[in-house]
Amino acid sequence: MEVVIIGAGMGGLFCGALLAKRGVRVTVLEKNGVSGGGLQTFARGGETFETGMHVAGGFNDGGILNSLCHYLGIMDRLKIRQSDMMLSITYADSGHTYDLPAGRDAFIAYLSGKFPHEKDNILRYVDAVFRVSHEEKLFYLESMSGVNDHSDEFFMPADAFIAKYISDPELRAVLASVNPLYAGIPGHSPAYIHIMISALFMENPCWFEGGSAQLADALKDIIEVADGRVLTCCEVASVRVEDMSVECVVDKNGREYRGDWYISDIHPASLFPLIEGKAFTSGYRARIESIPDTASAFKVYLRLKPGTIPFPCHPVSVVDSMENAWKMAQYEPGSWPHGVNCFFGQGKDGFASHLTAFCLMSFDEVREWENTRTGHRGEAYEAWKRERTDRVLALVEKRFPGIREADDDIFASSPLTFRDWMGTVRAGAYGLFKDSKDIASSLIPIRTKVKNLLLTGQNVNMHGIGGVPMTAIETIQTIFADDSVLQGIRETISNK
């Protein structure tokens, strides 16, 4: 069997590696000069910066990523570092800081100490998080179930899920502090995404020492050792469909690639224009195109002077006020940003070497420059970027006074950077938005009407390290029409 995969992001590479492990010859086509998509890192002034993988989870013994990477034989290659806490969050107006510890029991004990009047509710909330997380069967290496097997809590809005258990408004805000990791919108973002991310990072907050590109490289090696290929600078320009089957995909240089199956790891809105021939109905296209994207991102990167900021071994979040806990992804124009997530690089002697300050941002903010290209966006754009950078740093300084003086070099990326890097249309940081108000319409099936074309990646189900690899397993099991991948992983673990 031969499989052609469009896009060497985390989804495409996990699919490729899982297939290669089963002896399938894989060709992965990537438009960028390096593979990895959101796993890619870049270097500047000797520092390595992440593009889209600052915090990870599930790499602990028994964790889903640990099990999957053991199955693929790459776990020992990965340099995973444990964070000393899940998140430290400061509210700038009150000055209150919460240091959320890693580990379920420590998390409960810490918050119960801070909010003694909510002790029982905190227990019930954390119990509910782990109970409902078990409904995502794949996450626990169990065979999948359909949408209808889920409880009401699974699909209810995330903010309503928190409010169901917790009464204190400040504690509600603290528990919602992971929502920038899924671009949460109150009343709409489904509880299951909040739950999976909370469970993942509460149990095992960690990061890739030296950068998450190591995971992309390890997956690429599995594919190549099995005689497959990961071809970079190889943008797919068309997907030829005949009789509702893909005949071949063609790259920008006119080279054709053929396989028995084709997997698309790119955004559906980027895939549709590539299709040549009768494939999707206009109704299907219209439905998918009507699903909004999650918010995009604006990031400020600082190289720090040696010995200036002690290295926090965990993410730090600064929010202007607890009232704005749910206003990171959706905000009034002019009031941006309500919150910033800070990720530090480890330098020498216990100090930080760099900082990435990450804020969600609406694509509308850059709409007027959407037809420009990198390096040629004009002075007005550069001035806008400087002004937005100042706003981000002003918020960061509420927690780290004087951080600007500690910086050696400072630069930023906007939603346009992400759009061009990932090859998407609207630069949603986490792909298509999943809406609890209309969950059936916002979940896209892996199978398409085109018989040998499957979808994978963050647009299909959940994004990030807790979602994309699971969808890859599901995609590959669709090809084999069984759950042999899951069985293989379970066997590897039991033989460990």
Ligand X SMILES: Cc1cc2nc3c(=O)[nH]c(=O)nc-3n(C[C@H](O)[C@H](O)[C@H](O)COP(=O)(O)OP(=O)(O)OC[C@H]3O[C@@H](n4cnc5c(N)ncnc54)[C@H](O)[C@@H]3O)c2cc1C
Q: Which residues bind ligand X (CB under 6 A)?
A: 6-12, 29-32, 37-39, 52-55, 235-236, 265-266, 270, 297, 358, 418, 422-423, 429-430, 457-458, 463-465, 468
Rg (CA), the chain: 22
Minimum distance, C-beta of residue 301 to ligand X, in the bound complex (Å): 11
Minimum distance, C-beta of residue 37 to ligand X, in the bound complex (Å): 2
Residue number, 194 or 463, with CB nearest to ligand X: 463
> Residue 268, preceding bond cis, omega within 30 degrees?
no
CA distance 444 to 269: 12
Residue number, 11 or 186, with CB nearest to ligand X: 11
The residue whose Cβ lies closest to ligand X is: 9
Minimum distance, C-beta of residue 298 to ligand X, in the bound complex (Å): 9
Q: Give the contacts of 293 (CB within 8 A, at least 6 positions apart).
A: 363, 424, 426, 427, 428, 431, 432, 433
Residue number, 265 or 483, with CB nearest to ligand X: 265
Minimum distance, C-beta of residue 271 to ligand X, in the bound complex (Å): 8
For 131-164, the DSSP string reads HHHTTSGGGGTPPP--GGGS-HHHHSBHHHHHHH
Q: Are 130 and 199 in contact (CB under 8 A)?
A: yes
Strand-strand pairing, 85-91 and 316-319: parallel
How many Cβ atoms from other residues are within 10 Å of residue 378's Cβ?
A: 11
Residue number, 12 or 345, with CB nearest to ligand X: 12
Q: Give the contacts of 346 (CB within 8 A, at least 6 positions apart).
A: 81, 209, 311, 313, 352, 353
CA distance 429 to 181: 9
Residue number, 118 or 415, with CB nearest to ligand X: 415
Alpha helices by DSSP H, listed for 87-243, are 104-114, 119-133, 152-155, 158-165, 169-175, 191-203, 213-225
Minimum distance, C-beta of residue 14 to ligand X, in the bound complex (Å): 8
Residue number, 54 or 314, with CB nearest to ligand X: 54
Minimum distance, C-beta of residue 53 to ligand X, in the bound complex (Å): 5
Minimum distance, C-beta of residue 405 to ligand X, in the bound complex (Å): 26
Minimum distance, C-beta of residue 152 to ligand X, in the bound complex (Å): 27
Residue number, 181 or 352, with CB nearest to ligand X: 181
Question: What tokens appear for 83 in the block?
Answer: 């964070």
Question: What's the DSSP call for residue 369?
Answer: G
Question: What tokens appear for 430 in the block?
Answer: 């986490």
Minimum distance, C-beta of residue 447 to ligand X, in the bound complex (Å): 17
Residue number, 8 or 486, with CB nearest to ligand X: 8
Residue number, 170 or 228, with CB nearest to ligand X: 228
Q: Are 218 and 211 in contact (CB under 8 A)?
A: no
Minimum distance, C-beta of residue 119 to ligand X, in the bound complex (Å): 31
Question: What's the DSSP call for residue 234?
Answer: -
CA distance 488 to 491: 5
Strand-strand pairing, 316-319 and 339-346: antiparallel
Minimum distance, C-beta of residue 415 to ligand X, in the bound complex (Å): 10
492 half-sphere exposure, CB direction, 13 A CA radius: 21
Q: Give the contacts of 267 (CB within 8 A, at least 6 positions apart).
A: 422, 423, 424, 425, 428, 431, 432, 459
Residue number, 475 or 477, with CB nearest to ligand X: 475
Q: Are 52 and 64 in contact (CB under 8 A)?
A: no
Q: Tell the burial category of 496 from Cβ atoms under 10 Å away from its Cβ (0-12, 13-18, 19+).
A: exposed
Residue number, 460 or 489, with CB nearest to ligand X: 460
Question: What tokens appear for 184 in the block?
Answer: 């949460």
